Amino acid sequence: MSILEVEHIRKTFDHTQVLQDISFSLEQGQVVSIIGSSGSGKTTLLRCLNFLERPDGGVIRIKGDTLFDAEHISTQSEQEIRRKRLHFGLVFQSFNLFPQYTALQNVMLAKQLLAKDEPNYKVRKKRFSKKLKTRHSSC
């Protein structure tokens, strides 16, 4: 099962349609790059996935669960959206990075915070950190 499914996402600012019918899926462990010229909507797409922007249309699913469906208002309450935002980690560009951390620490941070919710985190902490560091150092 795909870890992330995005179907027919649309987003318009004023009269500019920035995202038009965006669909893709991601498998666990898959690494995907979004490439496009400045202003083509890369950040807007990521902000929609993290609910920092609300898509005008489309569906977002995580492991088969519908996190957002523009057709279903029940998926869009503030409380629901705040809870669902915890599924995503985002590393921002340049000035939004944490200056006290190295580049590697900035990239690893979201995954480290999410891991704290996993069972036996305290016992497995060292092994987890080592694995994470190895994985991100090679990217």
The least CB distance from residue 17 to Mg ion, in Å, is 17
Closer CB to ligand ATP, residue 81 or residue 115? 81
Site string for Mg ion, 86-125 (x = CB under 5 A): ----------------------------------------
* Alpha-carbon gap, residue 20 to 11, rounded angstroms: 7
Contact 128, 108 (CB under 8 A): no
Helix (H, G, I), strand (E, B) or coil at 133: helix
Closer CB to Mg ion, residue 18 or residue 59? 18
Closest CA to 93 of 103, 105, 83: 103
What is the H or E stretch that residue 134 is in?
helix 121-137
Looking at 17-25, 40-48, 57-65, 129-137, which segment touches Mg ion (CB under 5 A)? 40-48
Site string for ligand ATP, 35-74 (x = CB under 6 A): -x-xxxxxxx------------------------------
Among ligand ATP, Mg ion, none, residue 59 binds (CB under 5-8 Å by kind): none
Q: Which residue in 2, 25, 43, 106 binds Mg ion (CB under 5 A)? A: 43
User: Which string of DSSP letters, residue by residue, matches 65-124?
Assistant: EEEEETT-GGG--HHHHHHHGGG------GGGS-TTS-HHHHHHHHHHHHHTTSTTHHHH
Closer CB to ligand ATP, residue 35 or residue 123? 35
* Alpha-carbon gap, residue 115 to 112, rounded angstroms: 5
Residues engaged in binding Mg ion (CB under 5 A): 42-43
